[in-house]
Amino acid sequence: MDWSAEHAILRQWGVELAPGLTDTELSRAEEHVGCAFPPDLRSFLQAALPVGKNWPDWRHPESEYIASRLGWAERGMMFDLEHCPWWWPPEWGLRPEALPDRIEAARGHLRTVPKLIPVVGHRFLPAEPCEAGNPVLSVWQMVDTIYYGRDLRDFFNREADSELRKQPIGRVRRIRFWSGVVEEWYKRPG
């Protein structure tokens, strides 16, 4: 895949682009995260590696920043479980009454959903399916998770063009669990 247009966007933002990841470096990053990266993200990271504030440095996957991003969704979920008592995905079954039980159950369920791979800041690409074209998600909390691009390329184009950003995202690939978070479960009943 050719990422030169996206690299131009990043340069306009003042993002430094380091040489792309080698196969060995990419494999090390995937091993650390615990999943294969979809082909479009692999291609993007092998073409050039954005570095600097808010960008994960995949040459150092054990960094505190990447660890923080990998735990981001769980921390948001914990906040919602405490402050939005109505939030509970229907597919998880009955919501435990006691908060400690809810937290324990939710952590167990969260381990079974597709992993979120940090792209930049609180923007993530779901690891499943391991195919090009997964939507980019903006995850603040579970109740504040939205689609930020139909796919990786659309994400960069929307970020670069304020008029495009105002346009509806349109149809996106459904992602197990996460599409429900975006489309249904964040809604307060009644």
What rounded mean pLDDT belongs to the chain? 93
pLDDT at residue 171 greater than cutoff 70: yes
Give the mean pLDDT of 71-84: 93
The residues, ordered by sequence, that sit 6+ positions from 166 with a Cβ below 8 Å of its Cβ are none
Based on the number of CB atoms within 10 Å of its own CB, is 130 exposed (0-12), middle (13-18) or buried (19 or more)?
Answer: middle
Q: CB atoms < 10 A from the CB of 182, how many?
A: 19
Collapsing DSSP states into helix, strand and coil, what is residue 24? helix
Give per-residue burial for 146-176: e unless 16+ CB within 10 Å, then b: ebbbbbbbbbbbbbbeeeeeeeebeebeebe
Q: Tell me the whole-structure pTM to 2 decimals.
A: 0.93
Model confidence pLDDT, tens digit, residues 19-46 = 999 999 999 999 999 999 999 999 999 9
Model confidence pLDDT, tens digit, residues 102-151 = 999 999 999 999 999 999 999 999 999 999 999 999 999 898 899 999 99
Structural domain boundaries of the chain? Answer: 4-185
